[in-house]
Chain A
Amino acid sequence: GENVEQHPSTLSVQEGDSAVIKCTYSDSASNYFPWYKQELGKRPQLIIDIRSNVGEKKDQRIAVTLNKTAKHFSLHITETQPEDSAVYFCAATPSNDYKLSFGAGTTVTVRA
C-alpha cells in the first residue's frame, strides 16, 4: 500500500513569513494529493488538492507543487497569518484505490 511521510512534524514561523511542508510518497501509481487543515478541536478540512497531471496549483496564499519523478509534493503558505496556525496533513492515493493514505501531520504555529 501507499506510504506517506511528512516533514517537519512542527514548524514555527514569524507572522508574514512563508511556511513550507514537504511530503514523500511510495506508490508511483498515486495520482491524487490533497492537503487538509485541522484547527484545534475541529474537523480536518480540505484546503487544496492536486492531481498528477498538474505540477503546481495556487489558491490565494496557498500553493502546492508536485514532483512525480522524485515522488514528493509540498505545501507553501505565503504571508502567514495567526489563523494559519493549525495541523496540516498531506495525503496520497492511486486512482484505483478507495482510500487515502495520510501523513502524520505538521503542527504550524504562526508567531505574532
Chain B
Amino acid sequence: NAGVTQTPKFQVLKTGQSMTLQCAQDMNHNSMYWYRQDPGMGLRLIYYSASEGTTDKGEVPNGYNVSRLNKREFSLRLESAAPSQTSVYFCASSIFGGNQPQHFGDGTRLSIL
C-alpha cells in the first residue's frame, strides 16, 4: 500500500520549459489536491479535483493546468516555467472533500533557473 506517489522527486528546469508532475493514489480516494510550499507561506492550494471528472482552481492557479486522468491519477502541468514557480509541490488525496483527512505524497522539489 504505497498511499500517494509523486514523480519525479527532483527536477531542474530552464525558464520557458514545460513539464508535468505526476500523482497517483491507491487508497480509492475521490478527492485529490495539488499544493505548493514556499518558505514561510505554508501550503497553498493550486488546483483540486473533488471527484473524477471535475477540477477547480485553488488559491494560486495561474501558470498551471491539471488533468484528472482517472480516479487514481491527478497531474499538474507547467506550460512555460518561470523562476517564481520554484517550490516544493505536494499532491494529496482524501476520501471525499475537505472535511476528511488528507494524505500527502513525498513532494517534488522543482527548481527553475
Instruction: Determine the chain A residues whose CB is within 8 A of the CB of B41 once the complex forms.
Output: 104
Instruction: Determine the chain A residues whose CB is within 8 A of the CB of B44 once the complex forms.
Output: 102
For A43-54 the 0/1 string (1 means CB < 8 A from B) is: 111100101000
Segment 8-61 of B: residues with Cβ below 8 Å from A: 31, 33, 40-45, 48, 50, 56, 58
Number of interface residues of A (CB under 8 A): 24
- Docked Cα-Cα span, A34 to B100, in Å, equals 9
Report the stretch among A12-20, A60-68, A78-86, A93-101 that lies at the interface: A93-101
Pick the most buried of A42, A43, A51, A95: most chain B CB atoms within 10 A of its CB: A43
Closest-CB distance, A70 to chain B (whole angstroms): 21
Instruction: Determine the chain A residues whose CB is within 8 A of the CB of B31 once the complex forms.
Output: 98
Q: Are A95 and B99 in contact (CB under 8 A)?
A: yes
Pick the most buried of B33, B43, B101, B105: most chain A CB atoms within 10 A of its CB: B43
Instruction: Determine the chain B residues whose CB is within 8 A of the CB of A25 once the complex forms.
Output: none
Q: Are A34 and B101 in contact (CB under 8 A)?
A: yes
User: Which listed residue (A34, A45, A46, A105) contacts B42, Cβ 8 A?
Assistant: A105
Instruction: Determine the chain A residues whose CB is within 8 A of the CB of B101 once the complex forms.
Output: 34, 46, 49
Instruction: Determine the chain A residues whose CB is within 8 A of the CB of B100 once the complex forms.
Output: 32
In the complex, the chain B residue whose C-beta lies closest to that of A49 is: B101
Closest-CB distance, A10 to chain B (whole angstroms): 10
User: Does B79 sit at the interface, judged by CB under 8 A?
Assistant: no
Given contacts A43-B105, A44-B90, A99-B33, contact A89 B42 (CB under 8 A): yes
Q: Which 8 A-B pairs have the closest CB atoms?
A: A32-B99, A93-B98, A43-B104, A98-B50, A104-B42, A102-B43, A99-B98, A46-B101
9 CB < 8 A contacts A-B: A42-B106, A43-B90, A44-B43, A46-B102, A51-B99, A97-B98, A99-B48, A103-B42, A105-B42
Chain B positions near chain A (C-beta within 8 angstroms) = 31, 33, 40-45, 48, 50, 56, 58, 90, 97-107
Chain A positions near chain B (C-beta within 8 angstroms) = 6, 9, 31-32, 34, 42-46, 49, 51, 89, 93-95, 97-100, 102-105
